[in-house]
Amino acid sequence: MTISFATILHAVYVGLITGYLVALPTGPAGLESIRWTLTKGLKQGIFVAFGAVVADALDVVLINYGFLELLKIHIMIEVSFWLLFGGLVLFIGLRDMKRQKMHMTISPVKPKKTKPHQAFLTGFLFTITYPGVHLFWITFSSTIIRTWKASSATEGHIFTVAVLVGMFLGVVTINVLAHFGKKLTIPAFVKKIGEWVPFIIVLMGAGFIVTGVVIFIRHIMGLV
């Protein structure tokens, strides 16, 4: 089936806008990319964002090519996802809180030993181990992407790629704003971001672990 240029263009711009808007409510990987931007530089933050988007792309491929039921195989798989991600996030948050001084002054810091692949891996692991991401893509794939693929498989693929690109652009925009906010030295806003991000990450990690435990307890009690 041949699709017109207008149809392709429509799938591209709708996908870009959708992905961009979806990325603006920053999740754990987005927060981590901002932290890297503020402490290690914009380039490192963008590498974290890129790693997160690659993990998203992998998720989309797996979900849309026969692995949709992965999390439904056994309740312990879902519990393991929550506990694994929660432990990872909690560890990173506590580590950063320990390193953070009482009066943090955000200034451009040249990454010394940090390499791009480390930033990329951080973003990738944050995303691939976060259960919420998998649940989001399962829902998104079974509703919106499915609707686009109903018209044409090619159109659905183009839309999906555009969504991923839009999400990456959204996170990059947030990081650029944080970076230039730092450069312009906006005292209250920038300092608060630097001070609160590790604390928020710790709360997220603890929340994910508690969620995993609650799901396990509900399973044991026969409530799920």
Q: What is the pLDDT of residues 84-128, one digit of tens each?
A: 877 877 877 787 677 665 444 444 444 455 667 788 988 888 887
**What does the pLDDT read at residue 102?**
47
CB-based burial of residue 87 (10 Å sphere; 0-12 exposed, 13-18 middle, 19+ buried)?
Answer: middle
Residue 139 vs residues 50, 54, 146: alpha-carbon distances, Å: 22, 19, 10
Query: Residue 174: helix, strand or coil by DSSP?
Result: helix
Q: What is the pLDDT of residues 198-224, one digit of tens each?
A: 777 788 778 878 988 988 888 888 775
CA-CA-CA-CA torsion sign (157, 163, 168, 169): positive
**What does the pLDDT read at residue 129?**
73
- Name which of 4-8, 50-54, 70-74, 153-157 the model is least confident about: 70-74
CA 70, distance to chain mean position in Å, is 20
Q: What is the pLDDT of residues 133-169, one digit of tens each?
A: 777 887 788 788 888 888 788 888 899 999 999 999 9
